[in-house]
Amino acid sequence: MIQETKVSNQEVKTQKKIEGTAMDSIGASGDIYMLWNKWKWELVHKKINNYWVRTDLKNKKTNEEYTVIDIYSPNHYRDKAMCWESVKEEAQEDPRRNIVIGGDLNLVRHIDEKLGGNYFSDPSRATLEDIIEAHKLLDIPPSNGRFTWSNKRSGAHNIKERLDRILIQENIVAAFPTIKSRIVHASTFDHKPVVLILDRLENLGPIPFKYKKLWDSKEDFGKLVNESWETPVLGSSIMYGKLNLKN
């Protein structure tokens, strides 16, 4: 889920492994670029409006279907209200679906998600909370920080907020033993990407192996046994980020 790409829908190129769809930018507003691994996921349905891109994807291995709504919420209160009402209606279309909502939601849920400046309760927050409650969405807090946006000013004028997040249904989380979220700090933009990782297999620790005495005579064996033995963890990740491809 990538935003502010400055790539039009007509410019989306189907690559060997990656497929995608995009919402064109409107005036000064950025656009949305939704990507998926076409070897693993099949596009079942897509819908695009002025504020979000919805993609219904089916896992080719498990046949599980997910509805992913990638949102770029506007700043103006009237437009923002229209954005969240449209998301609410879209999510209610089929409440049985596995829903993932993410992107630049452009609002903070709690006072501790803002540092600097004046805090006020965004009127659109009530609609978001209704969506979260109705569809049992979980907001996984990042393990390495709180804020995803900064006005890039210094000193007392600096403001930081958590505007970007990924919300995921409880039943999806229950299917994965491990789930975690983190912020990618290596970014020069005012927004930082967010990564949500779902691991279906747990790390069961070191892989057991048999030891043979004759290995003592091998010069490199001592170095080998001192290295870490870890079981690979198979999983999937959903990443939301800001990127300007023209820069």
Please state, rounded to an integer, the average pLDDT across all residues of the chain: 80
Q: pLDDT per residue over 136-188, tens digit each?
A: 999 988 999 899 999 889 888 999 999 999 999 998 888 888 888 999 886 67
Task: Decide if pLDDT at 80 tops 90.
Answer: yes
Residue-level pLDDT at 29: 52
* Residue ranges in the chain assigned as alpha helix (H): 77-92, 125-134, 170-174, 221-225
CA dihedral 155, 158, 161, 164 (to 10 degrees): -120
Please indicate, yes or no, whether the overall pTM of this predicted structure exceeds 0.75. Answer: yes
* Strands 52-59 and 178-183, sheet pairing: unpaired
3-state secondary structure of 114: strand
For the domain 2-242, what is the CATH code? 3.60.10.10
Task: Decide if pLDDT at 28 tops 50.
Answer: no
Q: pLDDT per residue over 215-230, tens digit each?
A: 566 665 555 555 435 4
How does residue 128 score in pLDDT terms, banded at 50, 70 and 90? very high
Task: Decide if pLDDT at 233 tops 90.
Answer: no
Distance in angstroms between the alpha carbons of the first and the last residue of the chain = 19
Q: How many residues does the chain have?
A: 247
